[in-house]
Amino acid sequence: MRRPAPVTAVHRTGMERSVAPIAWAGALVTLAIVGMLVTAAWASYSQAVEESRTRAGFIAGALERSVTRTLEAVELVLVGIGDELRAAPAGGPAVQARMADTLRFAPHIRQVASLRDGVVVADTHGGAAGLRLDLDRLDLSAQGVSGGLSRGLRIGSMVSGRFLPVVGAAPQGPRSLLAVSVPVVGDAPSGLDVVAALNPDYFAALFQDAGIGERGDVALLRFDGHPLIGPAGPALPEGLGTSAGDHMLIDDARGLDGGSVVAYALSARYPAVVRVTLSHRDTFTRWIDGNRLVLLGLAGVTMAVLAALALLAREVLRRMHLQRQVRLLFRAVEQASAVVMITNAGRQIEYVNPEFTRLFGYVPTEAMGHNPNMLGSGLTPPATYQSLWQTLEQEASWRGEFVNRARDGTVGVMAATISRVQDDDGLTTHFIGVMDDVTERKEMEAERERMIAALSRSNTEMARLTEVMSHHFQEPVRRLATFGGRLRTVAGPLLTDDARASVDFIERESRRLRTLVNDVQLYLAADVARPSADNPLTEVAPVIADEVARLDNTLNTVGGRVEVGTLPPAPLDAARLHQVIAVLLRNAVDNAREGVPPLIRIAGEWLDGSVRYRVEDNGCGVPEVYRERVFRLFERLKASGTGTGIGLAIARRIIEGRGGRIWIEDGFDGGAAIVFDLPLEDPQ
């Protein structure tokens, strides 16, 4: 069929629309939701931190007020004792009674002592009277008198021991105390002081009840930064104690796993500062505990959104993979060298590929909606269409040939495969036809059949002619030999030497011509049929024995011998096997080296699916350049040889006719080895 000029046909499918925008939209929505959840959680935590800052300031202020009230009570008690001491400087019974009452009603005071110039005048402990207190250790001498409502309460240092230390005495016990004192002022002699040992555990218990968390701490400091109760910590911030700076908040970093907020509260009456430190880690822990359900809900929503995104991503990837497959399939159909046609269930064309246009000349718009019968030429047998629809009713596809007509009227043979397409319910929705132009192939096959038939006739006629000629040659050759013999018998005594040489020549050539005719007949009859089922294999040893017996006179003349090894049965009929063995033995004898008795060795072996035989001699050998040539008709290695040049050609024709192979290799002692393989029908 003539192909019209190519026409570009472009088709697109809805599956080619990219799903990338859907994927991007899903990812952006997911990120937005997750971002909103994270932002809400961070805002909630930031609010918790702000509340922690407020709480730190509140705790510091509350503790400062408690400390201030405690110091006020201590100062009031000490001032009262000072008033008694001013009336009785020697520490009379009234002073002792007042000091004893102080311990009874003030549990935060452990010991009270009255001093004159550092020497104990009266003491609630009872054992320090007349001794000098170690004021340097108590760190009371450096304290100035504070202003305000205070009458001069001095705050010393934290020292070890249960009671006020005296000069030269070692600290007593593992406990500690906080020393405070009030100077006795007025008309009394100078050098009078009232000193008290405060119980620091009272303040520690007060601080423990403040609710500062596991990692927070509370400390009571003197205004000079000296730690009284609690850890030392950093130096006091600048600006604390100004008119507007009695309270101060300081953030030490800020985060989920570190940092803290520090609140300072300065006592309005005394040189003391309360420092409260709240850890953000405690804040974070409280925030987690307080919002556990909300956070679990947010985590669940986040996981659900991420799972939805994962499912969306998997679906997008699946669709993208399907799109790539569809695009690949579409390109393959578009670029296919065969015609692809798709019709609906009503047999109306819905799609054709560009090859349809190149082959039939119709553009897609001209074919859409039409029945494929538009390509009919009227030359397709009606039985073909009946077979088509009957097959498709029972099977999924049909194969056959149509004779179609193109738009320009040219006719061609199309090899077609028609398949039906079914939906999930098993209903046929479309038909797909794939057609290939086999017009040229059909013409070539027809021409080949004609040539084969002509060649067969020629071969038959040639074989018949050869048989007739061989038959007609036999009689003249026989008569020529007969009359040559009669001439020698009748006129023998009368023959001259020249006449006798002529008679010898006639007899010799008649014998050679008779041998040649016999070899030609053997060559023509060398086509071998497969062995019958009754006798598939032939024993080789008896065949070799028969052929050696026929050559016995010749072998005895030249002193030759034949050695026979292991010989598996041959998948060849006995007659043809005799011909092959006779040819190979005669070839070995004819090519013996002058003066060297010929030695012929014959052996065989089983192979995988075949048997191999090897016939080798110690003759003159066959050069590699001639090893293929000697198998041709009328080819002889030696011009002076007695053979016809057909023997090896006969052997090859027989072996190859059986499906085997024959070739020449090096033999022993410089001779030649003829090797041939014969396939087995049953390797067992």
pLDDT, average across residues 207-232: 85
Euclidean distance between the first and the last CA atom of the chain, given in angstroms as a whole number: 53
- Output the pLDDT for position 634: 57
- Output the pLDDT for position 529: 47
pLDDT, average across residues 457-467: 68
Give the C-alpha separation, 492 to 498, whole Å: 12
- Evaluate if residue 366 carries a pLDDT over 60: yes
User: Pairing state of beta strands 227-229 and 217-222?
Assistant: antiparallel
Which has more confidence, 310 or 143? 310
Residue 189 binned pLDDT confidence (cut-offs 50, 70, 90): low
Residue 518 binned pLDDT confidence (cut-offs 50, 70, 90): low
Q: What is the mean pLDDT of the chain?
A: 79
Which has more confidence, 353 or 509? 353
- Output the pLDDT for position 478: 67
Q: How far is CA 35 from CA 255, 326, 429, 654, in A?
A: 19, 37, 48, 89
User: Which distant-in-sequence residues (6+ apart) come within 8 Å of 584 by Cβ?
Assistant: 615, 651, 674
Strand partners, 570: 538
- Evaluate if residue 149 carries a pLDDT over 60: no
Q: Looking at the chain, how many residues does it have?
A: 684
- Evaluate if residue 12 carries a pLDDT over 60: no
- Evaluate if residue 6 carries a pLDDT over 80: no
| 171 CA to centre of own chain | 77
- Evaluate if residue 141 carries a pLDDT over 50: yes
- Output the pLDDT for position 213: 81
- Output the pLDDT for position 18: 54
- Output the pLDDT for position 193: 86
What sign for the dihedral angle of Cα 160, 162, 166, 171?
Answer: negative
Its pTM stands at 0.46
- Evaluate if residue 190 carries a pLDDT over 70: no
Q: What's the per-residue H, E or C state across 501-544? A: HHHHHHHHHHHHHHHHHHHHHHHHCCCCCCCCCCCCCECHHHHH
- Output the pLDDT for position 224: 82
- Output the pLDDT for position 519: 58
Nearest alpha carbon to residue 85 among 109, 106, 113:
113
Which has more confidence, 3 or 50? 50
Residue 331 binned pLDDT confidence (cut-offs 50, 70, 90): confident
Answer yes or no: are the C-beta atoms of 1 and 439 closer than 8 Å: yes
Nearest alpha carbon to residue 579 among 611, 554, 544, 603:
544
Which has more confidence, 414 or 90? 414
Residue 139 binned pLDDT confidence (cut-offs 50, 70, 90): confident
pLDDT, average across residues 13-32: 62
- Output the pLDDT for position 530: 46
Return the H-helix or E-strand segment holding 95. Answer: helix 93-105
pLDDT, average across residues 141-163: 67
Residue 613 binned pLDDT confidence (cut-offs 50, 70, 90): very high
- Output the pLDDT for position 8: 40
pLDDT, average across residues 661-677: 90
Which amino acid would we find at residue 606?
Answer: W
pLDDT, average across residues 482-509: 70
| 539 CA to centre of own chain | 61
Task: Give me the percent of the chain exceeding a pLDDT of 70.
Answer: 79
Sketch out the chain's domains with CATH numbers. 12-320 (3.30.450.20), 336-437 (3.30.450.20), 444-516 (no CATH), 528-679 (3.30.565.10)
Residue 399 in tokens: 């194969």
User: Which distant-in-sequence residues (6+ apart) come within 8 Å of 554 by Cβ?
Assistant: 560, 589
- Evaluate if residue 612 carries a pLDDT over 90: yes
- Least confident range of 353-362, 429-438, 481-490, 649-658: 481-490
